[in-house]
Structure 1
Amino acid sequence: MGKKKYIFFYDNGMWSGYWEDFSDYMTQGVTLEELQTNLKDIYQDLTGGTIPCVRHVGEMEVA
């Protein structure tokens, strides 16, 4: 998998986060370690075809 960036924050006793490339799909954990485990799981679902109609972020150069 290599390294991927994720955004995370702590609020109301829970860690929440999402992959930078998949900002529509958030997950949570009671601990930061649990959040990281859940992020790995959802990444597998997002890239493995388990979740339909996944939105992607692209970048291209324009004139």
Structure 2
Amino acid sequence: MLRHFTLEYWIDEGWYVGRLKEVPGVFSQGESLAELEENIRDAYHLMIEDEIPHRTMVQTKELIRKQLGLK
């Protein structure tokens, strides 16, 4: 299934730096916009592969949430 995300990017000292707006933690860079897009795709796929064991854990274990107050 093809999913669509928003690539937010900027140019920093000649490098194209970007992130996926809808997927926190997917960042990358490239020497061109095309390279940035390729690297973002790679970063997204690596994140998805890394999350598979976590999804299994959540499905088989009880998820507990607690409010935590911080100063």
TM-score by length of 2: 0.61
Q: SS in structure 2 opposite 1:37?
A: helix
Superposition pairs for residues 46-57 of structure 1, below 5 Å?
A: 46-49=47-50
State the identity %: 22
Cα RMSD for the two superposed structures: 2.1
TM-score w.r.t. structure 1 length?
A: 0.68
Can you give the 5+ residue segments of structure 1 that lack an aligned partner in the other structure? 54-63
Q: Does 2:32 correspond to 1:24?
A: no
Structure having the larger proportion of residues in helix: 2
Q: What is the Cα deviation at residue 2 of structure 1?
A: 2.3
State the aligned residue count: 52
1:44 alignment partner in structure 2:
45
Q: Distance in 1 between the 2:44 and 2:26 partners?
A: 9
Deviations 1:11-55 (A, max 9, x none): 1000000111233332100000000000000010111117xx8xx
Task: Give the equivalent residue in structure 2 for 1:57.
Answer: none
Counterpart Cα distance in 2 of 1:2 and 1:26: 17
* TM-fit CA distance, 1:7: 0.8
Structure 2: stretches of 5+ with no match in the other structure = 55-71
SS at match of 2:22: helix
Q: Give the number of the structure whose alpha-carbon radius of gyration is greater.
A: 2
Distance 1:23 1:10 in 2: 20
